Structures are given as structure tokens and as C-alpha cells.
Structure 1
Amino acid sequence: MNRIKKIFYIIIGILSFALGAIGAFIPLLPTTPFLLLASFCFVKGSEKFDRWFKETKIYKRHLENYVDSRSMTMKQKVSILLFADTMIAFPLIMLENIYVKIFLLILVIFKYYYFMFKIKTINEE
């Protein structure tokens, strides 16, 4: 992978980590989706950043369970689902193409199915 792509991934990873860290303290901003994006970007961008990220308290608190056991708390699931629904609502409202709207509705249904039946729910600690 070329250097520009790696730098791009690192920058997006840092921004996502920052938003996720802020979201840990501000209830309206979701934490887990941003941390998942940060993790993805650090894996693609830099082994050094990936190792650093996985040693942070915020990673251990919000993502380690999911990465290790494919499980999340109900709070994490709801946070991700509501954030994704908000993002999907914009094109659903703005676009007039019925096929795109049907696709987005199927996507929302699948997303809820996956989170409720494929990802184990654990108790908050």
C-alpha cells in the first residue's frame, strides 16, 4: 500500500479515535462506531498505531469484548444502531428513487437482525 493511503488511514483513525473518546463522555455522540472505524484505519495504516490503540483504556473498555468474543452490551448495540439509523435517514428522506429507499429499508432490517441475533449481548460491568 502506498504511503499516501497509509497517512490517510492514520489521519482518519486519529479523528475517529478523538470522536470516540469524546463520545465516551458525551451521551449524544456514539463511542463504539467511531472506535471501530479507528481500529480499522489503524490496522490498515500502521502497526505502531494499531498496537498503541489496542493498549488504550478506551479500546479495552469499549471494543475488546467485541473483538475477543463478538459480543456487546445492549448500550453499545443501541448506540451503534441509532447512529447508523440517523445516517441512513438522510438519504431515505432526501432521495426520491423508490429502489434506493427499498434497499435502505432492507439494510435497516438486516442491521437490526444482525445486531440482535448474531452478536451476543452481555451485561454491562
Structure 2
Amino acid sequence: MKRHFYFVAGWLSLALGAIGAVLPLLPTVPFVILAAFCFARSSPRLEAWLVNHPTFGPHIVAWREKGAISRKGKIAATLAFAFSIVLAVIFAPWPWMMAPVVAAAVTGSWIWTRPEG
């Protein structure tokens, strides 16, 4: 039963990562890392596919070995946060426009304190 839970959670994480590739506030790589974690407990074949993926594999390995996020990833996250904040300021009413600001402050500060890999 636990294996099925991890399998479904891995696919949901991978789907959220795919959605994050086109939505500015939703990150991609953390969901792919989570998917690899879930697949390690449910499907070694899918885990190996993610770990060996040319785009996502290095991020997964860096996270597993050092808890590291690449500088490029940190900059991409910061730019995505900035874009989301601009959209919220333009389109969202007060106080909802502050949601991306708070998310950027909390998550961005955590991201920038991780080692670089």
C-alpha cells in the first residue's frame, strides 16, 4: 500500500513540475526532486530515469549529495518570483497582491541559503 502511495505521489509531483515549467510561481525542479524521492520508494526504473535525465538529473544528484541548488536555479527562481509579484501588483486586489511577495520572501530566502551545486 505504501508503495502505491509513493508511486501516485511521484506522478503528481512530476505533473506539478511540468505545470511549473509554464507557471511563474510554481517551481519545477523541487517537484522533480520530490518525484525522484517518491519513485525511489516505489519504482526504481522511474527513479533511474529521473536521476539520469540530462536536464533534471544533475539537480537531483546535487540535492541528494549536498542539499545544493545551482546558481542558475536560484536566479531562475528569483526571476519567477519577480514576475509573479509584478503580475499580482497589476491584477490582484489588496491584500491578495501580497501573497507572492510573502512567498518570495520566505521561499527565496530559504533558496538563497542553500549551498550551490
TM-score by length of 2: 0.59
- The equivalent position to 1:84 in structure 2, one of 81, 84, 107, is 81
Residue 75 of structure 1 and its aligned partner are, at CA, apart by: 1.7
Residue 79 of structure 1 and its aligned partner are, at CA, apart by: 1.2
Residue 43 of structure 1 and its aligned partner are, at CA, apart by: 4.3
Residue 8 of structure 1 and its aligned partner are, at CA, apart by: 8.4
| Structure 1 residue 51 corresponds to structure 2 residue 48 | yes
Residue 42 of structure 1 and its aligned partner are, at CA, apart by: 5.1
Equivalent residue, structure 2, for 1:27: none
Q: Deviations over 1:88-111 (max 9, x none)?
A: 44334211122x233432322223
| Structure 1 residue 67 corresponds to structure 2 residue 68 | no
Equivalent residue, structure 2, for 1:13: 14
| Structure 1 residue 106 corresponds to structure 2 residue 106 | no
Question: Aligned partners of 2:63 and 2:48: how far apart in 1?
Answer: 17
Equivalent residue, structure 1, for 2:115: 120
1:60–1:89 Cα change, 3 Å: same
| Structure 1 residue 35 corresponds to structure 2 residue 29 | yes
Q: Where in structure 2 are there 5+ consecutive unaligned residues?
A: none
TM-score by length of 1: 0.56
C-alpha contact (below 8 Å) 2:10/2:38 kept by paired residues: yes
C-alpha contact (below 8 Å) 1:66/1:72 kept by paired residues: yes
Alignment RMSD (CA, Å) = 3.7
Question: Aligned partners of 1:83 and 1:96: how far apart in 2?
Answer: 20
C-alpha contact (below 8 Å) 2:69/2:114 kept by paired residues: yes
Q: Where in structure 1 are there 5+ consecutive unaligned residues?
A: 21-29
For 1:119, the aligned partner's letter is R
Per residue, is there more strand in 1 or in 2?
1
